[in-house]
Amino acid sequence: MARRRKSASLGIERRWILTVQAVGLSLLGLVTLFLVYKGMNRV
């Protein structure tokens, strides 16, 4: 049973890392879209 508890904690850590990565990627995408939008407006 102890092993299951450890795996559960690891799963939570993995989920947190995945969420952080997803947020970072979404932020990068929004920034790139904003920059592209600004570039289009300039032209």
* pLDDT one-digit tens code per residue, 2-21: 666 667 777 888 999 999 99
Token pair belonging to 3? 């092993």
Q: What is the mean pLDDT of residues 31-39?
A: 96
pLDDT of 12: 85
All structural domains of the chain with their residue ranges? 1-43
Helix (H) or strand (E) holding 31: helix 2-42
Considering the entire predicted model, what is its pTM?
0.58
